[in-house]
Amino acid sequence: MADTRTIAESPIIGKDRLSEAVPRYTSYPTAPHFHAGVGARQVAGWMADIRPEEPLSVYVHVPFCDRLCWFCACHTRQTLRYEPVATYLRSLHAEIGLVSSRLAGRGRLRALHFGGGSPTMLRPDDLEALAAALVAAFGRTPDAEISVEIDPNDMDEARLDALAAIGLTRASLGIQDFAPEVQQAINRIQTFEATRSVVEGLRRRGVRSVNLDLLYGLPHQTCESVARTVESALTLQPDRIALFGYAHVPWFKKHQTMIDEAALPGPEERLAQSLGAARIVRAAGFVPVGIDHFARPGDPLAEAAASGHMRRNFQGYTDDACETLIGLGPSSVSRYRQGYAQNVAATGLHAAAVARGELPIVRGIELGEEDRARAWLIERLMCDFGFSAAALADRFSDVGDRLVGEAAAQAAEPGSMLSFEDGHFRITGEHQPLVRTVAARFDAYLRRGGARHSAAV
């Protein structure tokens, strides 16, 4: 279980540590270390090992937006015409058929997440047809969760009805910031009134969980402006809040060069924004979950965090316990017991592969025992801010023993952010904002170089 202290109680930490570039650890090994040695044939073999009734998590990527937000680091492209989206949907349906044929009836859909891009760009009938195709291909458990990332500017009554028709259980609304100056600087104009209207429409249709995504570290943001956005968001009565730090990676996403770097807050200001926002959300009764999520007491994510069963994947923190995650669409990442696999990113290459009857896998990585052990350790740090030495050793025998020794050596260093007490390694509350930095010390691939990452906080 995580330390009950929170990043909101952290003192100011040295600028050099705040600015250190480290991975976000939504997987281990991280995506920059995937390689072309893992391909469609190998992944088809991994699919063959899925158990008949195994619960599956499925992620569907919609790589289109009707506007390009300059802060975004997702794989997407802007289009004002629907024809490219319709063409892509035909390829996506073909990919669903290919994956279904290789599963041959194995597995049952337990969690379905539509991400992007903007999934709510889809026309209502296309969204319903896509959901029906997924259920026909993978089946569905009675308690299946269906979540969708929503751009409030896309929404109308017909789209809200379509979300209700597919059985939406959790909506995730991107807000970022309500301040007009900030919205202008990131090309994301979105009024509070439009956002409130969508939330109310979802509630009227029985959607039981509404999550709001906010950002700090954006151009022209101040502690005061972030606080105003958080307070406004709380009036919408969300069930969860995600408070992400903006990742400025213009070498990876060229459109981020449209953001004025001189208007970006510095490392200490970013930390202050994060801590101030966290204090407001906690004061409203939310439970802190990991480094950047908050949930109401009794929410499944809060309960998973309290019991030590919370997970972390490419969608962030989750209570999804499925071992297998199947990613569909360009750039999507799948996770199998044997390793990770990623689809080709370009929509044209994705379409060409599925037209040939091939899984559009372009790279991945097969996991060895040390990878699994380090992945477990890093996930527990990211989720619980610590881990049990005995659990690590019991799960991974000799490799686990070696990593316990590695952790002990780190904890013994002067000024270490990792401590050891009563059989547990822990990151204290004052250092929890830098959990990614601690996790990076256990990343065997990071030491080899070759990848660039965003700032630690």
* pLDDT in the model for residue 104: 96
Q: Is 324 helix (H, G, I), strand (E, B) or coil?
A: strand
Q: Which of 322, 439, 432 is nearest to 375 (CA)?
A: 439
> Is residue 454 very low, low, confident or very high in pLDDT (cuts 50, 70, 90)?
low
Domains with residue ranges and CATH for the chain: 1-28+368-457 (1.10.10.920), 30-328 (3.80.30.20)
Summarize pLDDT for 279-288 with one digit per residue, the tens: 999 999 999 9
Summarize pLDDT for 111-145 with one digit per residue, the tens: 999 999 999 999 999 999 999 999 999 999 999 99
* pLDDT in the model for residue 315: 84
- Judge whether residue 434 has pLDDT over 70: yes
Asked if residue 296 lies in contact with residue 285, where contact means CB atoms within 8 angstroms, the answer is yes
> Is residue 8 very low, low, confident or very high in pLDDT (cuts 50, 70, 90)?
very low
| Token pair for 236 | 């919408």
- Cα gap 190→124, rounded to integer Å: 22
| Token pair for 293 | 């999520």
- Cα gap 321→60, rounded to integer Å: 18
- Judge whether residue 10 has pLDDT over 80: no
Helix axis angle, 192-204 relative to 157-165, nearest 10°? 40
- Judge whether residue 2 has pLDDT over 50: no
The residue type found at 418 is L
For the four alpha carbons of 151, 115, 295 and 2, in that order, the dihedral sign comes to negative
Summarize pLDDT for 284-329 with one digit per residue, the tens: 999 999 999 999 999 999 999 999 999 999 888 999 999 999 999 9
Chain center to CA of 381: 16
Q: Which residues contact 81 (CB under 8 A, 6 or more apart)?
A: none
- Judge whether residue 15 has pLDDT over 80: no
Q: Work out whether strand 424-427 and strand 418-421 pair parallel, antiparallel, or are unpaired.
A: antiparallel
Reported residue count of the chain is 457
Summarize pLDDT for 376-418 with one digit per residue, the tens: 999 999 999 999 999 999 999 999 999 999 999 999 999 999 9
Asked if residue 335 lies in contact with residue 324, where contact means CB atoms within 8 angstroms, the answer is yes
Q: Which residue has the tokens 């026309």?
A: 123
| Token pair for 204 | 């009227």
Asked if residue 245 lies in contact with residue 292, where contact means CB atoms within 8 angstroms, the answer is yes
Summarize pLDDT for 71-117 with one digit per residue, the tens: 887 888 889 999 999 999 999 999 999 999 999 999 999 999 999 99
| Token pair for 283 | 């004061």
Cis peptide leading into 117, omega within 30 of 0? Answer: yes
Q: Which of 246, 279, 355, 324 is nearest to 51 (CA)?
A: 324
- Cα gap 345→12, rounded to integer Å: 39
pTM of the model: 0.91
The residue type found at 379 is E
336: left (phi over 0), alpha (psi -120 to 50) or beta: beta
**Rg of the chain, C-alpha, whole Å:** 21
* pLDDT in the model for residue 11: 46
* pLDDT in the model for residue 164: 98
Q: Is 349 exposed, middle or buried (0-12, 13-18, 19+ CB in 10 A)?
A: middle
* pLDDT in the model for residue 19: 59
Instruction: Compute the half-sphere exposure of residue 431: CA atoms within 13 Å on the CB side of its CA.
Output: 17
Q: Which of residues 8 and 150 earns the better pLDDT score?
A: 150
Q: Which residues contact 398 (CB under 8 A, 6 or more apart)?
A: none
- Cα gap 102→341, rounded to integer Å: 15
Per-residue burial over 271-306, b if 16 or more Cβ lie within 10 Å, else e, is: bbbbbbbbbbbeebebbbbbbbbbbbeebbbbebbe
- Cα gap 288→76, rounded to integer Å: 30
- Cα gap 185→195, rounded to integer Å: 19
